Structure 1
Amino acid sequence: MFFLELLLCCLKNNFARVVALITHSLALIVNRRIAIECTPALWKMQQLDEKINREITMNKKLKEYIF
């Protein structure tokens, strides 16, 4: 679909639309790449948050049990 629209815009001499389409597609590619690269780091951060929350909960329960 993208290439068909790009071809039609080129045939119509709609230069601004061609530039906008190319820029938009490049932005999508870059954003997807960033999302793919950041996903493991975000997943690790979420795991650490869950681990910290479990430890906090265990510490609270331990304090309640002791006192």
Structure 2
Amino acid sequence: MLGLTLCLALAGVSTGASAKGCLKGAAAGGVAGHFLHHHGLVGAAAGCAVGHLHAKHQAARDTNATRHG
């Protein structure tokens, strides 16, 4: 729960796509971490980072598709 709260706080500072990726990643990572030896906080933090990276790459692909398509 603390990890999700932390990600929500950080998401408010980020841009829209980054926040979306962080929230989805934190939720999935928190659940997965909880079931793997009760490491929900670590899972949420890792999920937030991965989700942020994925959203950033997706936004770049969307921008390139708009420019070239």
Which TM-score tier does this pair reach, normalised by the shorter chain? 0.3 to 0.5
TM-score, normalised on structure 1? 0.42
More helix by share: 1
Kindly name which structure, 1 or 2, has the bigger radius of gyration based on alpha carbons: 1
TM-score, normalised on structure 2? 0.41
